[in-house]
Chain A
């Protein structure tokens, strides 16, 4: 459990990181908290020739009120997202979901930007960001661009990030008084990845649901939206949630492994979506 040797550079700034990525080609990888990358390097499943460490760029760690949204620096650690008052007040779903990532030690090191850039469909934050319709700020040699969460996750461990781009900021909307939310993570051990997870953001009006956004964890090669259930939930009330969420697994392609068959994952997605929406309605 020893990584293969690599070169290492500390990035002094985002631009510096981009330069280093550009100079060193595709085998250079960014190192944020290291809790997605280092485990696979120790297993020798990944062997980048260079790591560019973002850990010294202090200005990438922040949570700011940006008017209609909250801006979170990419190097903000999970534990800070989990406990941040601004997020707890305006975007409780993100803070809550961060509390499910790994374990306290992992949350002390792992970062929101690192987790998202890794693009693992089984990790918790990406599906929450889908349900929140978050956006990501990405910087590369050509300058800065903004990508919607829904456009970011492209395939298994593949994102919209070019090899020489750096994710710098995550933006999430402030949720209003009439917005309820929930994250339901199903796993066998608390420290584990989700077998299935469901993030729900539900807009309520006059006792019924005006709109709902559902993000699914580990139901395919990328985090997914449960669009069929979202449509069915529009206009539903608490008595019709069960029926409306019965299509939560539509359009998903979960894998089968020793934790669960694809069929069981589909079943869990339906049950957890119902429970998440019910909880969102009461929160």
Chain B
């Protein structure tokens, strides 16, 4: 067992974990963060995407011990003072989700994308979401949501956390 410490959604957590414990299971089982989802087990679907030090990673392919000392952000930590993140709002308004199971991963991957490319074209959005699979929406409204969020976040730079 190893002692690890990480900041998750702004809160510091210390835990004793097996080295093989996957970050997704640490978040879900030890910290009770149900908004991180497992979909494929093979690093394909991206439902487990979280931010590690601000960048998107697939938490099913990171060991909890690798995240020791790092800052993790999940979909449950991006609202501020009860206000949804612009990306959450855009997914809602553009109907960028149906069953909603891929949605937290999509939202986190999209936030990471806009951080690297604040004004992506439709094609760039599609290419950058290559690691996130959705079975419901055909991606049409996901792409629309990311564009909408990009426009909104450029209008209000403070929101682009």
Tell me the B68-126 residues at the A interface (CB within 8 Å): 109, 112-113, 116
**B130 close to A (CB within 8 Å):** yes
Q: Which residue of A lies closest to B42 (CB)?
A: A39
Instruction: Give a binary string over A66-100; 1 marks a CB under 8 Å from any B CB, 0 the rest.
Output: 00000000000001000100000000000000000
**A38 close to B (CB within 8 Å):** yes
Return A56 CB to nearest CB of chain B, in Å.
9
Interchain CB contact under 8 A, B55 and A79: yes
**Bound complex: CA A191 to CA B131 (Å):** 6
Using known A-B contacts A34-B61, A38-B61, A39-B43, determine if residue A106 contacts B131 with beta carbons closer than 8 Å.
Answer: yes
Interchain CB contact under 8 A, B62 and A109: yes
Interface of B is mostly: mixed
Instruction: Give a binary string over A38-57; 1 marks a CB under 8 Å from any B CB, 0 the rest.
Output: 11001100000001010100
Return A92 CB to nearest CB of chain B, in Å.
18
Interface size of A as a range: 20 to 34
Q: Which residue of A lies closest to B45 (CB)?
A: A191
Instruction: Give a binary string over A97-110; 1 marks a CB under 8 Å from any B CB, 0 the rest.
Output: 00000111110110
**Bound complex: CA A8 to CA B2 (Å):** 9
Tell me the B29-58 residues at the A interface (CB within 8 Å): 41-44, 46, 49, 52, 55-58
**Bound complex: CA A8 to CA B130 (Å):** 32
Using known A-B contacts A39-B42, A104-B131, A189-B130, determine if residue A109 contacts B61 with beta carbons closer than 8 Å.
Answer: yes
Instruction: Give a binary string over B15-28; 1 marks a CB under 8 Å from any A CB, 0 the rest.
Output: 00011101000000
Using known A-B contacts A5-B18, A191-B44, determine if residue A105 contacts B66 with beta carbons closer than 8 Å.
Answer: no
Interchain CB contact under 8 A, B109 and A105: yes
**B65 close to A (CB within 8 Å):** yes
Interchain CB contact under 8 A, B41 and A104: no
Instruction: Give a binary string over A7-50; 1 marks a CB under 8 Å from any B CB, 0 the rest.
Output: 11000000000000000000000010011001100110000000
Query: Which residues of B are found within 8 Å of A260, using beta-carbon distances?
Result: none
**B128 close to A (CB within 8 Å):** yes
B57 contacts which of A2, A53, A105, A190 (Cβ < 8 Å)?
Answer: A105
Using known A-B contacts A8-B2, A35-B61, A53-B66, determine if residue A106 contacts B20 with beta carbons closer than 8 Å.
Answer: no
Interchain CB contact under 8 A, A7 and B131: no
Query: Which residues of A are found within 8 Å of B41, using beta-carbon distances?
Result: 1, 42
**B146 close to A (CB within 8 Å):** no
**B160 close to A (CB within 8 Å):** no
**A259 close to B (CB within 8 Å):** no
Query: Which residues of B are found within 8 Å of A53, using beta-carbon distances?
Result: 65-66
**Bound complex: CA A55 to CA B57 (Å):** 15
**A157 close to B (CB within 8 Å):** no
**Bound complex: CA A143 to CA B113 (Å):** 41
Using known A-B contacts A106-B131, A109-B57, determine if residue A6 contacts B19 with beta carbons closer than 8 Å.
Answer: yes
**Bound complex: CA A277 to CA B10 (Å):** 50
Would you list 16 pairs from A and B whose C-beta atoms are within 8 A, ordered by A residue?
Answer: A3-B20, A6-B20, A35-B61, A38-B61, A42-B22, A42-B41, A53-B65, A103-B46, A104-B116, A105-B57, A106-B43, A106-B61, A108-B57, A189-B130, A190-B130, A191-B44
Q: Which residues of B contact A (CB under 8 A)?
A: 2, 18-20, 22, 41-44, 46, 49, 52, 55-58, 60-63, 65-66, 109, 112-113, 116, 127-128, 130-132
